């Protein structure tokens, strides 16, 4: 049995280049969280400046989500043709351009269109960056490195909620400031290599070997890892082009991975996270809460999200993806059921604030520390190399489309059914998410990307087919 040097200690699987990749991933996640969250507070100022109504507010808020769907689909084609590295460089440039265009928008319509451009970068980052980091990382720390992206989303959300709660920063400065971390991300990515797996797929094995040597610590034996990648790429070459890219997604053996990936993407949104992040202040103020209290609660929720991202970052590779999700989802469901009960029974007065806040924070604790961790992590791991870019783009577009649907329908649902009943509906979505994970999601912790692909090819992609290694 070949010695695997990163088995001894996870820290030994990390060197300077891999750390830089984690930093780039973190910045892209921060931009995602900040750019999607900052509009909530900024809309108050934007509405006054441009004298717009609810319809244009929704268009401005939803523009980034529409752009994200487009970006996630388009960047899959760019990833396959030009590589992960150059695609991420393009995403960085679009982040900068989108942020500045939004900041200097002369009208509400221009701002809505600029938000679509910014959304292209957000969607492209979610499709490309986690996949790129997963393809660079040693398997024993892959989960934690990919989750740097998810962790930074929480940082971005917290910063956005604090800026929004202060109401002291101009919306143009708040949105335009995102160009600074985007520039830092661009400079960092310029120092990073192409994905070794993409290089092998293109027949550039010598370059892939140099990349692996560059991103692994001194003394790391890359031969077994490179051999495994080359062997799998050779098998894919023999299968022909029908098994590659978008056309490869039609292969029956790929379907279980698509079902798991897209199912997780849908349930991360239907779990209620977007409802809480985007609309918690609106829901609370509409039910008699003072605006200042609602904004402070929003900050507390953002901080809870961030803390649970940190916890998840450190334990996911130890506890396991599937096990952690199954443990945490029931807590999120019960929190929403209890929260709904406060409103349905009329216990939503100022005297009930502690109980309502406790339910909101409990929901964020269980949701952010479980299901939310899996949204981008599973997509970076479960798909075959030959169609990974196309499959991750489908998963990313599924997530963003679900997000867009929720954003455009949530307030209408509350008006039709009542706020408490809507919390119950989302609680039921969490029950459905738990059943889905229990029945369909295998435990991927400790398995290399190539081992996961072999399970998929052999038709052994159910929870009972994977043993912890």
CA distances from 188 to 18, 21, 27, 214, 353 (A): 11, 8, 10, 16, 45
Q: What is the DSSP letter of 413?
A: H
Quote the CA–CA distance of 341 and 257 in Å, as a whole number. Answer: 37
Residue 2, pLDDT score: 43
Q: Looking up tokens 């393009």, which residue turns up?
A: 90
Topology (CATH) of 1-192: Growth Hormone; Chain: A; (1.20.1250)
Distances (CA, A) of 348 to 71, 357, 360: 41, 11, 13
Over its length of 469 residues, how does the chain's per-residue pLDDT go in tens digits? 344 444 434 445 577 888 899 899 999 999 988 998 888 778 778 888 998 877 788 788 889 989 998 998 899 889 989 999 999 999 999 999 999 999 999 999 999 999 999 999 999 998 899 889 888 988 777 777 777 887 888 899 889 888 877 767 899 999 999 999 999 999 999 999 999 989 998 889 999 999 999 988 888 888 888 888 888 777 666 655 556 677 788 888 999 999 999 999 999 999 988 777 766 766 677 667 777 777 778 788 888 988 888 888 788 888 888 999 999 999 999 999 999 999 899 887 777 778 888 999 999 999 988 898 887 778 778 888 778 878 888 888 898 899 888 877 877 788 889 888 999 999 999 999 999 999 999 988 888 888 888 888 888 888 887 765 4
- How many other C-beta atoms are found inside a 10 Å radius of the C-beta of residue 97? 17
Distances (CA, A) of 339 to 211, 407, 413: 51, 20, 16
- Residue found by looking up tokens 């992206």 in the block: 149
Do 1-192 and 248-469 have matching folds? yes
Q: Count Cβ atoms below 10 Å from residue 145 Cβ, excluding itself.
A: 26
Class of domain 248-469: mainly alpha
Q: How far is CA 399 from the centre of its chain?
A: 9
**387-422 pLDDT per residue, tens:** 887 888 888 889 889 988 887 787 778 888 988 899
Strands in 237-310 per DSSP E: none
CB neighbour list of residue 288: distance below 8 Å, 6 or more residues apart: 348, 349, 350
Q: DSSP 3-state helix, strand, coil percentages of the chain (rounded to 5)?
A: 85, 0, 15
Tens digit of pLDDT for each residue in 183-216? 999 999 999 999 998 999 888 999 999 999 998 8
Rounded Cα gap, residues 115 and 69, in angstroms: 13
Upper half-sphere CA count for residue 87 (Cβ side, 13 Å): 30
Q: 420: phi > 0 → left, psi -120 to 50 → alpha, else beta; which?
A: alpha
Question: Which burial class, exposed, middle or buried, applies to 137 when counting CB atoms under 10 A from its CB (0-12, 13-18, 19+)?
Answer: buried
Q: What's the chain's Rg over C-alpha atoms?
A: 22
User: How far is residue 26's CA from residue 31's CA, in Å, rounded to a whole number?
Assistant: 9
**Rounded to 5°, angle at Cα 437 from 431 and 443:** 150
Question: What is the residue extent of each domain of the chain?
Answer: 1-192, 248-469
pTM: 0.76
The confidence score (pLDDT) of residue 3 equals 42
Q: What is the spatial distance between Cα 412 and Cα 410, in angstroms, rounded to a whole number?
A: 5
User: Residue 386 class from Cβ within 10 Å (0-12 exposed, 13-18 middle, 19+ buried)?
Assistant: buried
Q: What is the pLDDT of residue 236?
A: 63
Rounded Cα distance, 153 and 175, in Å: 16
């Amino acid at each position: 049995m070949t010695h695997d040097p990163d088995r001894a200690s996870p820290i030994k699987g990390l060197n300077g280049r891999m750390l830089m990749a984690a930093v780039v991933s973190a910045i892209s996640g921060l931009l995602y969280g900040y750019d999607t969250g900052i509009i909530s507070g900024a809309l108050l100022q934007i509405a006054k400046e441009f004298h717009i109504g609810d319809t244009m507010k929704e268009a401005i808020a939803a523009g980034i989500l529409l752009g994200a769907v487009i970006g996630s689909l388009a960047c899959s084609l760019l990833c396959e043709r030009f590589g992960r590295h150059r695609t991420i460089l393009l995403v960085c440039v679009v982040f900068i351009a989108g942020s500045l265009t939004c900041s200097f928008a002369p009208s509400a319509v221009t701002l809505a269109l600029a938000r679509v451009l910014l959304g292209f970068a957000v969607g492209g980052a979610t499709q490309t960056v986690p996949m790129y980091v997963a393809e660079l990382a040693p398997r024993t720390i892959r989960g934690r490195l990919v989750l740097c992206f998810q962790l930074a989303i929480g940082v971005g959300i917290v910063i956005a909620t604090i800026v929004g709660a202060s109401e002291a920063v101009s919306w143009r400065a708040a949105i335009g400031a995102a160009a600074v971390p985007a520039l830092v991300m661009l400079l960092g990515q310029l120092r990073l290599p192409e994905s070794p797996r993409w290089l092998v797929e293109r027949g550039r094995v010598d370059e892939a070997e140099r990349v692996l040597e560059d991103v692994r610590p001194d003394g790391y034996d890359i031969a077994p890892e490179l051999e495994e990648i080359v062997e799998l790429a050779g098998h894919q070459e023999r299968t022909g082009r029908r098994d590659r890219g978008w056309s490869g997604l039609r292969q029956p053996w790929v379907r279980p991975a698509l079902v798991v990936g897209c199912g997780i993407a849908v349930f991360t949104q239907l779990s209620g996270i977007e409802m809480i992040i985007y609309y918690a202040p609106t829901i609370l103020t509409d039910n008699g809460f003072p605006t200042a209290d609602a904004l402070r609660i929003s900050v507390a929720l953002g901080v809870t999200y961030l803390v649970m991202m940190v916890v998840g970052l450190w334990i996911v590779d130890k506890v396991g993806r599937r096990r952690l999700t199954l443990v945490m989802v029931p807590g999120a469901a019960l929190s929403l059921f209890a929260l709904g009960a406060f409103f349905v029974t009329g216990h939503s007065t100022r005297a009930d604030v502690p109980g309502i806040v406790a339910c909101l924070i409990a929901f964020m604790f269980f949701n952010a520390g479980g299901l939310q961790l899996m949204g981008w992590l599973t997509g970076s791991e479960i798909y075959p190399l030959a169609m990974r870019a196309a499959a991750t783009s489908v998963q990313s577009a599924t997530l963003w489309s679900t997000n867009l649907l929720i954003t455009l329908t949530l307030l209408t649902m509350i008006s039709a059914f009542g706020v408490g009943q809507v919390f119950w509906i989302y609680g039921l979505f969490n029950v459905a998410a738990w059943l889905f994970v229990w029945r369909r999601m295998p435990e991927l912790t400790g398995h290399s990307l190539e081992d996961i692909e072999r399970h998929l090819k052999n038709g052994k992609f159910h929870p009972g087919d994977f043993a912890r290694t």
